[in-house]
DNA sequence: ACGCATGCATACCGGTCGGTATGTAATCTG
DNA sequence: CAGATTACATACCGACCGGTATGCATGCGT
């Protein structure tokens, strides 16, 4: 039996259940009781590892959403040998889009829309992730620009901001329409925008 | 003294206070008590005009957000003599963007992100507004296409979907960054996308 | 002028919320 | 092996939530 104490593992379980609950209901409507029910733990455990519900939420942002963002979207761009191609492929999204993701939306976008006007600390943490993402796009565009693939007059910073914004917009609208097709159609238009930045 | 009974006026006051409260905190976190405090009314008044908090929310969607959407964005497009120009100008947003709007975001987008996965009735009502908006863009693009201003191979339906999505994405990101500049920069890129649909 | 529906105010209720105080067993330290 | 600290479980609390039952005054139809 390894039913011995494994504090960092229980912490991780709380984080995962917290992420799922927040993804489903948003942060404010997320119920601590539900998180505990999912994990089989009790309040003693949660409030031992996290001072408050808000701290749990912030930890979910950093340790779940942030890490996922880097692994899924940022690192593939940084590691890409051919930046322009990698960017277009990433927006193409060969990787299966889970139904769940369409139904519940992008966790980062969800929390931004909900928490930004309400709590400065949330806003700052979320904004940090957003900036990382934007910078990854900007860096990729700049690399492609230096490689002569992107037109020299393109403002990479503004273009990167727009890509992030449009991406989140596409996921948001697709969530409302509950339509994977709409998402693909929308992202396809975004792909067209990126292509329009390339040299002919 | 006109402190006589004016039921439709009090109903309107509840709607307006409800809209403001929902805009600030979202629907689920919106407090009925706050709405009443803002109006100076009591629960008796609210639950006389609306069966439940949810019904008030749905009425806010239809009678406040929906009407505002039509007046501000849809009708100017329908009435425009020169569709392409009107579309680009609308995205250009000469009309002052209130700080409030940047801080709190687009009411339609906020509610979509919050309520779509949670409540089907909300999702349907919101989706109806979204579709109206998209159709207004589509119609405008099609008119411009028939006038020979937009390239004939452009898919007006998909382009309209993207414009709506990117628009909401821009407001969402600007809200998170709390930056009017970011919003303008982002919308400027969207403007560039629309221009790219025109004949050279 | 009278009766009755309408328009609101007041008081109250059960339920859920995040958070805390306390207890206790397991683990680490010396 | 003893003591201290860590890692939880249990029980409980006040605050707020949306909603309801009731009361009462106004305005309207007749």
pTM over 0.85: yes
Residues from chain B that touch A170, judged by Cβ atoms under 8 A, are 162, 165-166, 169
Angle of helix B107-115 relative to helix B120-146, nearest 10 degrees, comes to 130
Span A33-54, average pLDDT: 98
Measured on CA atoms in the order A60, A113, B12, B40, is the torsion positive or negative?
positive
CA dist B25 → A61, A72, B30 (Å) = 20, 31, 5
Under an 8 A CB cutoff, do B105 and A117 touch?
Answer: yes
pLDDT, position B95: 64
pLDDT, position B139: 98
pLDDT, position A193: 97
pLDDT, position A1: 40
CA gap A86, A197 in Å, rounded: 14
Q: Answer yes or no: is pLDDT of A94 > 90.
A: no
Residues from chain A that touch B162, judged by Cβ atoms under 8 A, are 166, 170, 185-186, 189-190
Closest nucleotide to residue A11 (Cα to C1')? D7
Per-residue pLDDT band for A5 (boundaries 50, 70, 90) equals confident
pLDDT in tens, A137-196: 999 999 999 999 999 999 999 999 999 999 999 999 999 999 999 999 999 999 999 999
Q: Which residue of A has its CA nearest to B186?
A: A162
DSSP code at position B60 = I
pLDDT, position B1: 40
Residues whose CB falls within 8 Å of the CB of residue A9, separated by 6 or more in sequence, listed in order: none
Q: Give me the CA B46–C1' D20 separation in Å, rounded.
A: 13
Residues from chain A that touch B103, judged by Cβ atoms under 8 A, are 117
Across chain A, mean pLDDT equals 96
Q: Give me the CA B163–C1' C29 separation in Å, rounded.
A: 64
The residues on A that touch B, with CB distances below 8 Å, are: 24-26, 28-29, 103-105, 109-110, 112-114, 116-118, 123, 126-127, 130, 158-159, 161-162, 164-170, 172-173, 175-178, 182, 185-186, 188-190, 193, 196
Q: Which two tokens stand for residue B63?
A: 């009678």
pLDDT, position A3: 60
Which residue stretches of chain B have pLDDT < 50? 1-2
For residue A105, the SS3 value is coil
pLDDT, position A174: 97
Alpha helices in B50-149, H assignment, sequence order: 53-59, 67-69, 75-78, 83-92, 99-104, 107-115, 120-146
Question: What is the CB-side half-sphere exposure of residue A10 using CA atoms within 13 A?
Answer: 18
């Amino acid at each position: 039996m390894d039913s011995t104490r494994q504090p960092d593992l229980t912490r991780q379980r709380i984080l995962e259940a917290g992420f799922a609950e927040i993804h489903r209901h948003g942060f404010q409507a997320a119920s601590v009781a539900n998180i505990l029910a999912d994990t089989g733990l009790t309040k003693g455990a949660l409030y031992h590892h996290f001072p408050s519900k808000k701290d749990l939420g912030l930890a979910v942002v950093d340790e779940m959403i942030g890490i996922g963002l880097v692994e899924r979207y940022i690192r593939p761009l940084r590691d890409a040998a051919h930046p322009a191609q990698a960017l277009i492929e990433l927006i193409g999204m060969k990787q299966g889009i889970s139904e769940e993701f369409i139904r519940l939306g992008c966790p980062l976008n969800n929390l931004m829309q909900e928490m930004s006007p309400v709590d400065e600390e949330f806003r700052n943490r979320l904004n940090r992730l957003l900036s990382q993402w934007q910078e990854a796009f900007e860096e990729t565009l700049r690399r492609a620009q230096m490689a002569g693939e992107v037109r020299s007059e393109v403002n990479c910073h503004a273009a990167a901001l727009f890509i992030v914004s449009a991406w989140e917009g596409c996921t948001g609208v697709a969530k409302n329409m509950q339509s994977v097709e709409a998402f693909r159609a929308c992202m396809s238009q975004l792909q067209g925008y990126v292509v329009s930045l390339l040299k002919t």
